[in-house]
């Protein structure tokens, strides 16, 4: 299986922490990354057992990210203490982030060397996105779109959701982070999944959470350069090199940056030109 760096990973598959029998199958799926969820997917009474099941699987050789409970919850510190130092832990996704200090403190408790994906899920979180993206330990931002809609009353309409998505994109750029991860599309409407993935990419997002393995192929396709993109980038770079890498007009540097980015992604994702 091709290994995709978390910085450019497209599909992030959420797996309920109450189902340890599914962890290995998820790891073997086509998802670029998997996230074992011990937050929203787990009833409060079951959280200690789910945490232990996740930790045991990681200790036994599994590799995954873990979505942990938010910093204001009674479960947050226990989550961090149990996960700290586990060899299979890729990093944590911190739920309901509304302040950069929550990211920094989580990273510190984990030993200072575990990346933290900040899941932003509220109006306050969106407005604090720049500070969150600049916090020590912040690795990527992610959009908790469902909770954001619940908090604000915003509809699922793409125009209504453009503002928070764009805020996360701009904050990520200012914080020198990779592009943010969009929220999941609920259900099995693959036309809607394709459309929402296209919109997220158009706004500058570079990954998407998913809840079903059947969604992975669509997400990976939509968030990857197309074969025609790769053909254009390859042709441009060949021509630019042949010309001695001399800038001919004001459009060359932007096109060079785009072409180099496309070719980097194409190599990582195994996409060939037309």
Q: Is the pLDDT of residue 41 over 80?
A: yes
N-to-C CA span, the chain: 23
Domains of the chain: 11-222 (3.20.20.60), 227-269 (no CATH)
Query: In terms of Cα–Cα distance, which of 221, 223, 234, 239 is closest to 272?
Result: 234
* β-bridge partners, 118: 94, 141
Q: Of all residues in the chain, what percent carry a pLDDT higher than 70?
A: 99
Residues 246-255 pLDDT 10s? 998 899 999 9
This prediction's pTM: 0.95
Token pair, residue 60, equals 């036994």
Q: Is the pLDDT of residue 143 over 60?
A: yes
């Amino acid at each position: 299986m091709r290994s995709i760096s978390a910085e450019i990973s497209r599909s992030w598959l959420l797996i309920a922490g109450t189902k340890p029998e599914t962890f290995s199958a998820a790891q073997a799926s086509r998802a670029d990354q998997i996230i074992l969820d011990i937050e929203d997917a787990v009833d409060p009474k079951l959280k200690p057992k789910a945490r232990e099941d996740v930790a045991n699987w990681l200790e036994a050789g599994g590799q995954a990210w873990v979505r942990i409970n938010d910093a204001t919850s009674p479960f947050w510190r226990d989550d961090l203490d149990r996960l700290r130092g586990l060899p299979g832990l890729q990093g944590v996704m911190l739920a309901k982030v509304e302040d950069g200090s929550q990211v920094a403190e989580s990273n510190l408790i984990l030993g200072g060397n575990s990346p933290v994906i900040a899941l932003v899920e509220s109006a306050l979180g969106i407005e604090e996105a720049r500070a969150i993206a600049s916090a020590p330990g912040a690795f990527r931002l992610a959009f908790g779109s469902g909770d954001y809609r619940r908090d604000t009353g915003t509809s699922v309409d793409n125009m209504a959701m453009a503002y928070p998505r764009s805020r996360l994109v701009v904050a990520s750029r200012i914080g020198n982070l990779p592009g943010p991860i969009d929220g999941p599309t609920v259900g099995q409407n693959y036309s809607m999944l394709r459309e929402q993935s296209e919109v997220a990419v158009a706004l500058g997002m570079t990954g998407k959470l998913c809840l079903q393995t059947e969604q992975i192929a669509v997400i990976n396709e939509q968030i990857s350069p197309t074969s025609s993109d790769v053909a254009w980038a390859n042709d441009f770079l060949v021509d630019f090199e042949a010309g001695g890498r001399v800038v001919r007009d004001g459009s060359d540097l932007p096109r060079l940056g785009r072409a180099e980015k496309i070719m980097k992604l194409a190599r990582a994702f195994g996409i060939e030109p037309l």
